[in-house]
Structure 1
Amino acid sequence: MEMASSDVNIVKSEADVILELCTVIESLSKAAIDRDDVFKVGLSGGSLVKFLSEGLPNIDTDWSKWRLFFCDERVVPTDSADSTYGEYKNKLIGTVPLTEDQFIKIDPDLSAEAAAKDYIQKMAVWFPPDSLPRFHLLLLGMGPDGHTCSLFPNHRLLDETSVWVAPVTDSPKPPPSRITLTFPVVNNAECCVFAVAGAAKADMVKRILKDREETLPASRVQPSNGKLIWIMDKAAASKM
C-alpha cells in the first residue's frame, strides 16, 4: 500500500494542539459551507471531546450549517459514560450554538448489527445515493494500540471493502458492542485529522509516522483523494 503524504504539525503544548486543530476546523468549515452550504464532520471520542469543547467556542463559523456524525460509537444508552454522543452533548452543546438535531446519532436500543444498518440509512440522507460518502472532515483518534475509529489491530473489519458502517461485537476494549466507519469511507474523506498530545502517544506516533508500520489501523488512514493532517505536541512527537 502506497502511503499518502501527510502534513505533520508539531507544536509546543496541548493548548497549541487545540489551537491548531480548531484553526484547521474553522478554515475547512468555511470552505465547505461556501461551496456546499453544509459542513459534514465525523467525530471521535477520547481526548478529542476535551480538545473540541475547549477550542471550538473560539472559532468563527456558521454553526447552523454543521452536521455532526460519529466515526464510531458505542452501542450504549446516551446517558452512559461510554456514549461518545453523550460526552459531546454534555461538554459541547451549550458552549457552542449546536443543537441535538445537528448530530446524526445511532439508535442505542438496537443490536450492533441493526444499529450499523440504521446508521447507514441515517447517513444516506446526507450523501449522494450511488457513491461512497465523502465527509468534509473526519476527526480521528489514535489509541495506544494504534486503533482508530473502532478498527482494531488484526481485526477482520480492517479488510472490509463495501459496507459504510460496520458492527463490532467483540471490541478488545470495553464496551464490546459498537459501530464504526470502515476504511473505504474513512479514506474517501476530503480531510482526515489526527490530533494527539502527551508522551503516552509518542511510541505509537513513531511506529506510524517514522517506522510506517502498515499493519496498524491508524497507519491505514490514507485518503485517496484528500488530505491527511497530524497535529501533535512536542511530547507526542518526542520519539520521531
Structure 2
Amino acid sequence: MAGRRVVVFPSSVELGPALAHLVTSRAEKAIVSRGRFTLGLSGGSLVSMLSKELLAMPDLDCSKWVFGFCDERLVSFDDPESTYGLYKSQFFSKVSIPDSGILTIDPSLSVNECAEDYTCKLKKAFPDDDFPVFDLLLLGMGPDGHTCSLFPEHPLLEETKKIVAPISDSPKPPPQRVTMTFPVVNSARSVAFVSTGGSKAAVLKEVLEGREGPALPAARVVPTNGELFWLVDEPAAASLTIPVERLVSGAKL
C-alpha cells in the first residue's frame, strides 16, 4: 500500500472543495495515463457534497469518466433510496456524460440476478482485470463501521471470488442490495473515505487506531497497491490520538 493519509478539516465546508480537487486531479492523471477515469461512488451524505463541489469546479469535463457504484440498494431509480437516482438528479443530469459512462444496476432483477448482471457490466468495462481496478473509489462509513454494504460480522466480509455480491439481509434498510467486495475495493488505485460529524468520532477511533476483536469492515480497506485517504472533519476526529494532517480552507491534497 502506498500509505494512509488521515486528513482533518475544520468542517465539511472546507472538506468538500478538497475532495472535489482530489477527484479531478486523479481524473487528469488517469486520462493522461489510460485515456479514461474510473470512479466508484457511494451514497449517503456524499451525494450532495460531491455533486455540489464538482459542479462548482471550473471547466469540469466528464466525457472520459466512467462511473460505477460501490454498492446500490435494490430499489427503482425514482425511489429516494436509490443512490443512482440521487446522483442523477443532483449531478448526472447537469453535466455531459455518455450513457456508456454510467454503470448502473438493473433494479428489475432479483437480488442474485442483479449482482450477476452488475458483475457482467463491470467485467465488460474492465476486460483486462481479474478484479476491476478503479482509479478512485469514494467510500463512506456507517456508525457501526460498515462500508459499501459490507456489515460487521457478515459472511460477505470473507468473500474472495465474487466481484459484486448480493445481500438480502442488510441490517440497515432496505434489506436487498448489491455491493462490491473487498477484493475489488482493495484493488483500486486510490480510495478515499469521507467521514464527518461527531457521531462518527468513536467508530473512527476504532477503525483507525485498532480495536480488540475482529476488525470493523472499514478497517479492512487496505488497498494492495494504492493510496488510502481518510478525509474527516474536526468533530469526527475529536477522539483520535494518532498523528493526522490538518488542512485549512483552500488547501489541496
TM-score normalised over the length of structure 2: 0.90
Distance 2:85 2:19 in 1: 22
CA drift at 1:200: 1.1
1:29 and 1:61 in contact (8 A); partners too: no
**Matched residue, 1:165:** 164
Distance 1:4 1:26 in 2: 20
Distance 2:2 2:53 in 1: 28
Instruction: Give the gaps of 5 or more residues in structure 2.
Output: 241-253
CA drift at 1:99: 5.1
CA drift at 1:93: 2.2
**SS of the residue 2:143 aligns to:** coil
Instruction: Show the 5 A alignment for 1:68-79.
Output: 68-79=67-78
1:15 paired to 2:13: yes
Distance 1:239 1:208 in 2: 12
Opposite residue 170 of structure 1, the aligned amino acid is D
Distance 1:72 1:192 in 2: 15
**Matched residue, 1:62:** 61
1:48-92, CA deviations, whole angstroms, 9 ceiling, x for partnerless residues? Answer: 101111110123443100111000001111111111101101111
Cα distance change, pair 35–216 in 1 and its aligned pair in 2 (3 A): same
Give the CA RMSD over aligned residues.
1.6
CA drift at 1:134: 0.4
1:30 and 1:61 in contact (8 A); partners too: no
Which 10-residue stretch deviates more, 125-134 or 170-179? 125-134
**Matched residue, 2:232:** 232
**SS of the residue 1:6 aligns to:** strand
For 1:35, which of 18, 33, 36 is the aligned residue? 33
Distance 1:212 1:24 in 2: 30
**Matched residue, 1:6:** 4
Instruction: Give the gaps of 5 or more residues in structure 1.
Output: none
Distance 1:51 1:184 in 2: 27
TM-score normalised over the length of structure 1: 0.94
**Matched residue, 2:111:** 112
Distance 2:105 2:65 in 1: 18
Which 10-residue stretch deviates more, 13-22 or 126-135? 126-135
1:96 paired to 2:102: no
1:171-218, CA deviations, whole angstroms, 9 ceiling, x for partnerless residues? Answer: 011111000000000000000100111111111111111235652000
CA drift at 1:97: 3.1
Aligned length in residues: 238
1:6-55, CA deviations, whole angstroms, 9 ceiling, x for partnerless residues? Answer: 10111111111111111111110000011111111110000110111111
**Matched residue, 1:218:** 218
Distance 2:98 2:49 in 1: 19
1:190 and 1:227 in contact (8 A); partners too: yes
1:122 paired to 2:157: no
